[in-house]
A and B are shown apart, each in its own frame.
Chain A
Amino acid sequence: MTTVEEQLLPSKEPVRLIDQDGVLHDHSSYKLPAEQTLVDGYVELIKGRRINDQASALVRQGRLAVYPSSHGQEACQVAASMVLADGDWLFPTYRDTVSIVSRGVDPIETLTLLRGDWHSGYDPYERNVAPQSTPLATQLTHAVGVAHAARLKGEDTVVMALCGDGATSEGDFHEALNFAAVFQTPVVFFVQNNEYAISVPLSKQTIAPSIAHKGIGYGVPGERADGNDLAGLLAVLGQAVDKARAGEGPQLVEAHTYRVQAHTNADDATRYRQDDEVTPWLERDPIKRLEAYLNSAGLLSDDTKKRADETATQVAQYLRDGLMPEPGVDSEDLFRHLYAVPTPQLVEQAAFLRDELAREES
């Protein structure tokens, strides 16, 4: 018999099925995902890493305005999408490009926001991926609404809502957890704790034993996982999704990972942390360890390596081809989508700009 408190509190240690040396560990509550799932996940990780590094390169070449990279967090990115069914929803932030692409959204459309030719470039209804949210934690209550609507319609949709460690200090994080709990909506709140919010370390956001511990205050079960272990993340997130779908209400999952690069290309991390803090995390890299495990288990065939390599090369090429040309923009778009029917004032202002542009051209 476990008490209610025990059911709501996270594991004593972050769940880890494969350690940084690629060694397998048994866990009493979580099973190692199927071999094929791990192999597919490996390919996704390689692809995700390449998206991150190609996008960062494209910032340096002036093709993207900014890129908040998830380099080193790819296991979280990939796992969040892999555990979802087609009808489920993903609510991503600015840092979750890889997760969005993993869900099947076109990479160029995904990068529209950061390229700057529009705010959100993909159709949220095509793959059930909400627009990336920049105002921290504000997307979490939307996730509750989408999940609640699904429940009212009798659908078994689960919503995966992403945010960072810093975002857990925002009021909306707490309101979302509480609303989801009171209405028992099927949302998995997935916090990627990369230890930093721009320059501010987690110790200045909270002194709670862990972010996963915050769930108990709302009656939401919390769990934590090693954020660089794809196997553990798939197991923990998969179980959270299953529980939410089965009607057990919202779940909170914290992944313990690390932002090995600066917040974005515009940030200078040397102003607030030492390199020797970063070094050990490079050893915990999510790709390295899965590769080590798959190799030792004899699961990494030449075919798989080739598939991973080709997938990565293709996506990088696709990004370069798509992002190198100047994007076409249409000034009429400025006025087009504020209202179903534009106000008379917007019609006037659109005509004004059209006229101004016509005069410039002549």
Chain B
Amino acid sequence: MTHVKLTMAQALNQALRDAMKADDSVLMFGEDVGPLGGVFRITDGLTAEFGEDRCFDTPLAESGIVGMAVGLAMNGMRPVVEMQFDAFGYPAFEQIVSHVAKMRNRTRGRVALPMVIRMPYAGGIGGVEHHCDSSESYYAHTPGLTVVAPSTVADAYTLLRRAIEWPDPVVFMEPKKLYWAKEEVDLTEDVPGIGKAVVRREGADATLIAYGPSVPIAMEAAEVAAAEGRQLTVVDLRSVVPFDDETVCAAVRRTGRAVVVAEASGFASVSSEIVARVTERCFHSLAAPVRRVTGFDIPYPPPKLEKYQLPGVDRILDAVDDLQWEDS
């Protein structure tokens, strides 16, 4: 097959390009996504290739962008919008929660909104205030949304293609710090779709559960643990909603111990939901309480301090060490 070396940013760009080629109703719009190609260049070249009607800049107003996407989706289009940064998606929050998420439900299935809200998110890029939020929990908490977060280049391509084809609105969380991660990939390869978690690494002793930007850290931690004699499974959620209880719980039952790794603040978050679900379902297989390594419950810190906030290999390994091994 055709293996190519791509960054995640290039894979996302390719996914948009291929989706727009495959379906004339796919539109891409937002702030600076036209001739500039987006501040992260994810939409690079799309206006040139598909014209201004298909990929265009809008006035600077996120609620307007998402609201317009709702109307376009109501009338036969498949809009993909970019929120320039995670924290700049908040002006659109009312639209997302009150309309995007609810339209199918409030119309008894008569109006569906096939649309994608692309959200460059999370930290680790030395970004200043308001550029590094992990906002996935707000969306995951909202019934009616599908929330996806790729961690690999191959997934970035395939999950974005699937998200655009998905019959319901998808909040597509793009880990900014992985935009420049390069991988040898085969874009024609079939990878599991939305709603399926995958086991990235098998190990019998404990399970790390992660998604988006935390997956590579979890993989690194597992590598170090293996060198130290402890075999860790790593589960990559890929989609936060729908949540793949089956894959997650199977891994936890196999290993009897688990640590959830997430960059977002832990309080009332996706990570707390995972702990609750795993505890409810796997209690008798657990040899220790499920631990979490998350961001502290603080606003995302300034660049010089972000190293304290981000889950790192050592913190993950410490959490694994704390899984009451002496009792087993």
Contact = CB atoms under 8 A, between A and B. Distances in A.
B110 A336 contact: no
A318 interface: no
Contacts of B303: none
Given A147-B71, A182-B59, A337 B64 contact: no
Contact of A343 (B72, B99, B195): B195
A351 B210 CA distance: 29
A272 interface: no
B243 A142 contact: no
Interface stretch (B30-38, B74-82, B285-293): B74-82
Nearest to B56: A183
A163 to B, nearest CB: 13
A329 to B, nearest CB: 12
A125 B108 CA distance: 13
Nearest to B244: A344
Interface in B128-144: 143-144
Contact of B76 (A130, A153, A333): A153
Contacts of B107: 119-120, 123-124, 131, 337
Contact of A138 (B79, B94, B143, B167): B94
A124 B168 contact: no
A146 B63 contact: no
B242 A175 contact: no
Interface string B43-64: 0000000000100001101011
Interface string B230-267: 00000000000111011000000000000000000000
A119 B94 CA distance: 18
A343 B71 contact: no
Most buried by A among B71, B75, B167: B71
A61 interface: no
Given A149-B75, A149-B77, A344-B242, A178 B61 contact: yes
A178 B245 CA distance: 45
A59 B174 CA distance: 49
Interface in A101-151: 118-120, 123-125, 130-131, 135, 138, 140-150
19 contacts: A118-B108, A119-B105, A124-B110, A124-B111, A130-B74, A138-B67, A141-B63, A142-B74, A144-B71, A145-B75, A146-B72, A146-B74, A171-B63, A176-B64, A179-B59, A339-B104, A339-B146, A339-B168, A343-B242
In the complex, the 4 A-B pairs of residues with the closest C-beta atoms, listed nearest first: A145-B71, A141-B67, A175-B64, A149-B75
Given A131-B111, A344-B246, 12 more contacts: A118-B106, A130-B74, A138-B94, A138-B95, A141-B71, A145-B68, A147-B71, A148-B71, A153-B75, A178-B61, A179-B64, A182-B59
Interface of B: 27, 53, 58-59, 61, 63-64, 66-77, 79, 91, 94-95, 98-99, 102-112, 143-144, 146, 167-168, 195, 241-243, 245-246
Interface of A: 118-120, 123-125, 130-131, 135, 138, 140-150, 152-153, 171-172, 175-176, 178-179, 182, 333, 336-341, 343-345
